[in-house]
Every structure is written in structure tokens, then in C-alpha cells.
A and B are shown apart, each in its own frame.
Chain A
């Protein structure tokens, strides 16, 4: 009996590690509330291991050499992009940033490191909704039109390749983007089928909206529904947030701007649902405010700023911020976007535009293009009811949908990263 027990224990000790390696760990995400998942940074424990430094070069593209940039944007001079390059021949991935994000935002840097580690050259592109892109690289200067933004992005990608082609050896072109950058990637891929400059091998859409208008409406409402008085009370709201931070600091004895600290603080002082939603709403509003103002100034004003005024590098912009912060994406859509595209094409209507700016509008293409895959979450807050089911049906086996993670909350999760790497290697989807 004793003899058997000893051998059994020895046997188990030898075998168990291999078993636990063979069976995949189930996906675990520390925040089950989708708003929490969206707002909180994933604690490092769950994040994929990525290199600390990767070889990065920043370069500037003069997209429209003829364009005169207004003096009020004195610090803007060409579109900055970045290249992370492999030593030898390797496939290349273009990454399109999400709403209001720049090529070097913290999330973009994580993507660059992760994809570099997987063996790719990476070219990072600022979101067409970021003022830097609006000022330097948008042909319409009226961001949000997926077909037009795709043309702008495609132009930038070609210029970027022209700029770096002597430094890198590319075996194939691939494309990805997250959030708004995800849906834009789909439209860029469609454009590439006609233009055939890159002939993308693999295209991955990460947490894209299905309908642009549906998603921006959800995000607009997060501010209006969760801050009493809406944008008029932002100042008060900010004071409350800062007081809460100060209270947490007092209670915990220290403050540190790290995901671990915020995770600990949130466990101790659970945030209310409406507060989390207001955080998402405010951060979206700040991005759209910047975009709308930049677009208005570039087109000579008339919406936020008076038409035909001269603004210098010393002009005080506070009064315009006051107006712009009270302007939702919805306002911009109805009062700037629709009239602009109607002026170009009189048969265009608001409803037609809404319909146009959706993955449903290119449904047949997405169904047939086997190179396109999807990474998403069942509880993503930017989707309307029914949209995740639509995506699941649309992409079938080419979709990887996690049960939790909110909007982009799990992008750096080991399981999500593993999927991305396998997808681009052609082992998934």
C-alpha cells in the first residue's frame, strides 16, 4: 500500500506540470463590469509580457505640401508617424489608432512592442479624428466619413512606405486598428481591393463599432445621462473627481499613478456605475471637442469660431473651448458633417450617411474577404443590443469574442495578444 502511494505521488509530480501546460488556462478578466473593464487599466499581472524597449524611428510626412497651416496651430508641421523595424526581411503591419489617439499613445506603444516581439515591422498611424491628422492629412478636414478617411489613411500609408522603403525589407503587408481604427481598417482594406497597392494579407479589426453613428450616440449619452446638467457642470464634476482622488490618497496613505494602485483603490472604494460612465463620456467628449475645433479652424471657421477671423499663436482659446465642450459629436454630425457632404452631393441625406458609415454597408465584402478577422468582447459598451450577435454571425470562425473585457479593456491581456499573434501568423481565423 505504502509503496504504491509513494509511486503514485512521484508519478503525479512528474505528470501534473505537463497536464497543466497542455490544458489551456481559461480566460480570466479581473473586471466583470464592462464599464470598469473599459476604464481601468489591466493590472500588470494579466498583461502579456512585452519588451521594454523596441527600435523606434519617428518620421514626418508632408502630405499636402501646398497646405497653409493657420498660425493658431503653430506647433503643427507635417504628420508624424513611427516605424518599428526588424533587422531582416519581415512582414509589416500598419496600425491605426483609436478615436483621438496619436501614433505614440500608450496603447499604440504597447501594440508596437507586442507586434515587434512577434516578428513584424510596425508602422503606426494617428487616428483621422486626432487634430494632428485633421490639420496635416485630412483632405476633407471633416473627419468621420469612413470612405473619405480610408482614402486619407491609404494616402498616408503609401507616403509612409515611400519614406521608409530603403530601411526595411518587407515580405507582406498587413493591417489592424482598434475601436474607430478597427472599422477604418475594414474600409481601407476594401479600398485596397481596388487600388491593389498593398494587397493586404491579413486584416484584424479590434473592438470596432458596427455603426459609427450608433456608437457615438452611446458615447455622447454617457456624458449627458450621467453628469447632472451635462457639459454645463463639467467643472463641478472635475472638482468632485479630484476630491475623490484626494480622499483615496488620504485613506490609503499614498498616491501613485499606476494600474495596481487604481485597482486597489477601486476595490476599496467601488466606483458607482454612473461615475464610471461619466468618465467614459468625458474622455470621449474631450477628444471630440478637440477634433471639432480643429476641423472648424481648418475650414475657416463658422461653427465654433467666427468665420474669417485672424488667430495668432497668442490668441486665447478659452471662450472657444467653452463652446466646443458643449458640442457633442451628434451636434457636429447634424450641423457640420451632414451639410458638408450634402453640399458635395445634393442627393445625400442624413439617413443615407448613417447607413453608409457602418460595417453593415460593406457586409458582402466582409463575408467574402477571408483575410479579415475580428477580435471583440461580448460586453463592449460601444455596441448596441444585437450588434455583437451580428458580428458573430458575419465573421463566423474568423471572430474571436471574449465574454468580458469591455471596450478595449483586455487588449493587452495575454489571451488577446496570443490571438492577435496567431491570427497574423495565419493560425487562427
Chain B
């Protein structure tokens, strides 16, 4: 978390500026010549059905500002860096990096499976870490999956959800994207635990940890098949908000 704080201080200031500039008005502004639309919600939405894709989003103006920031950040900085990374490193090396990153983050899967008392998954995660760190040469390969031990992903947001914490208001985080209050809390919790008790604490070298933070961010972005406003929908913000919320509900239920 300390690393995260220092690197991104300027970015957060930039976001803040953008958001303030963007304002928070989320309703269309009517003028003297405004006329109602032909199709009206009252005629179309049947009683007893839900109007649409309702997700609690009281900070929508702010969130849309951050979403917009993420679009530009992605377009002009993050994705060019990712493309450079892909250009420089052969696919084979990139796969090793992905495996390595996943293996290091098994720490969070382990703690959260344990916190949810999913003992079998906790055992699998531990076994995976041991196998991949030894046989898989420091996690560069993933023999555990080949042997039938699949990754058991859990994060602290899921753990909170598991114990009944509701999602809270929807949030779009700078760079990280869709979230909500619960999952943001979860992310902070995971990051603190990881930095203070996980691999960075074992290594205890700020330069290595910083290097790892940067490489894992690039690797994760590379593996995320999404780019802002490429969906071709004017309702992308609404659809992502709904899909994210539904996806998290399922991940928590599983």
C-alpha cells in the first residue's frame, strides 16, 4: 500500500482535477424547446418487473469522471506500455511472468480461503504454492494445474461478502476500474496483508517489491481482454456496472 500511495499521488490529483472539471450533473438538462420523447418509460415498463439494470450508484457523477479518466489513462499510457512489453518479450517469457505473478498472489487466495474456512481449497492453494515454487521453478511454470490442482481464487471482498457484508455503493477506481465499497475495502485489506505479511515482507526489499508491483500490473492488464469504449455500446458504463455486480454476486456465492 505504501508503494501504491507514492507512485500514484500525482495521478490521484489529476483524477481529482478531472472529476471537479467534469462536474456531477447526471441528469439531462432541459431547455425551453425541449419536447418529450415518443417512447416513455411508464408505457413500456410492466408493473411488477424491474425497470432495468438497477445498481446502487449514488456517486455516479464521480464514477463517470473516473471512468473517463481510466479511458484516457488506458489509451495514452497503460496500453502503450503493455504493447511495448508484448513487443519486447517473447510470448514464452510472458507466460513465465504470468505464472510467476499468479504464484506470488497465491498468498491472497490462501488467506481468504482460510478466512472463509474453505479448508479443501486452502489445502489445494498451499499445495499449489509448494509444487509450483519447487517443481515449477519459483512459480515460472504451473505443473499443479496439470496435476489437477486448479487455482482457487478468493479475495478479501469475497470474504467480506461471504460473511454477509453487502456491496455498498458502486465505485469506479482510478486505473483499477469497476468496484464497490465492499470490494474496495477488500482490495485495501488484501494489499495491506500482502505487503506486511506476504511475499514483499519475506523479501523485504523495496526495489524488488516496486519492480514486482509494476510488472504484475502490466501482466494483469495484458491478460484483461477489455478496453474502454470498445464494446460499441453507448450504455457501456451501465452494462459494465451491472455485469460487474452480477459477477461478484456469483463469485461470492460459489
Contacts and interface: CB of A to CB of B under 8 A. Distances in A.
B24 interface: yes
Contact of B46 (A232, A289, A323, A327): A232
A131 B39 CA distance: 20
Given A131-B232, A312-B23, A74 B31 contact: no
Given A246-B250, A313-B22, A313-B64, A290 B232 contact: yes
Given A75-B229, A293-B235, A297-B234, A309 B31 contact: yes
Contact of A304 (B22, B37, B150): B37
A327 B33 CA distance: 25
A289 B51 CA distance: 16
A268 to B, nearest CB: 17
Interface string B138-169: 00000000000010000000000000000000
Interface in B223-254: 228-230, 232-235, 237-238, 242, 246-247, 250, 253-254
A416 B61 CA distance: 49
B45 A306 contact: no
Interface string A238-265: 1100110110011001100000000000
B26 A72 contact: no
A308 B25 CA distance: 17
A98 to B, nearest CB: 12
A312 B68 CA distance: 12
A239 to B, nearest CB: 7
Task: Give the size range of A's interface with the partner.
Answer: 35 or more
Contacts of B26: 314-316
B44 A316 contact: no
A311 B33 CA distance: 15
B53 A321 contact: yes
B42 to A, nearest CB: 10
A302 B65 contact: no
A8 B247 CA distance: 63
Contacts of B41: 319, 322-323
Interface string B211-233: 00000000000000000111011
B34 A309 contact: yes
Nearest to B242: A238
Interface in B36-75: 36-41, 44-46, 49-53, 60-61, 64-65, 68, 71
B37 A302 contact: yes
A306 B246 contact: no
B37 A75 contact: no
Contacts of A100: 232
Given A75-B71, A130-B232, A249-B254, A314 B61 contact: yes
B252 to A, nearest CB: 11
Interface in A38-94: 72-75
B9 interface: no
Main secondary structure of the interface of B (DSSP, over half): loop
Interface string A214-252: 000000000000000100110110110011011001100
Nearest to B235: A321
Contacts of B60: 314, 316
A398 interface: no
B27 interface: yes
Contacts of B234: 72-73, 131, 290, 293-294, 297, 317
A309 B28 contact: yes
B53 A318 contact: yes
A155 to B, nearest CB: 21
B29 interface: yes
B77 interface: no
A169 B217 CA distance: 41
A411 interface: no
Contacts of B34: 306-309
A365 B53 CA distance: 47
A148 B175 CA distance: 41
A318 B25 contact: no
A229 B232 contact: no
A75 B40 CA distance: 27
B7 interface: no
Contacts of A314: 22-26, 60-61, 64-65
A305 B229 contact: no
22 contacts: A102-B230, A102-B232, A250-B254, A254-B150, A289-B235, A290-B232, A307-B35, A308-B34, A309-B34, A310-B30, A313-B22, A314-B26, A314-B64, A317-B234, A317-B235, A317-B237, A318-B52, A319-B52, A321-B52, A323-B39, A327-B44, A335-B38
Q: Which 7 A-B pairs have the closest CB atoms?
A: A322-B52, A316-B26, A307-B35, A232-B49, A309-B28, A310-B29, A75-B229
Given A100-B232, A316-B27, 15 more contacts: A74-B68, A229-B46, A232-B45, A235-B52, A245-B250, A246-B253, A307-B33, A309-B28, A309-B34, A313-B68, A317-B234, A317-B238, A318-B52, A318-B235, A320-B235
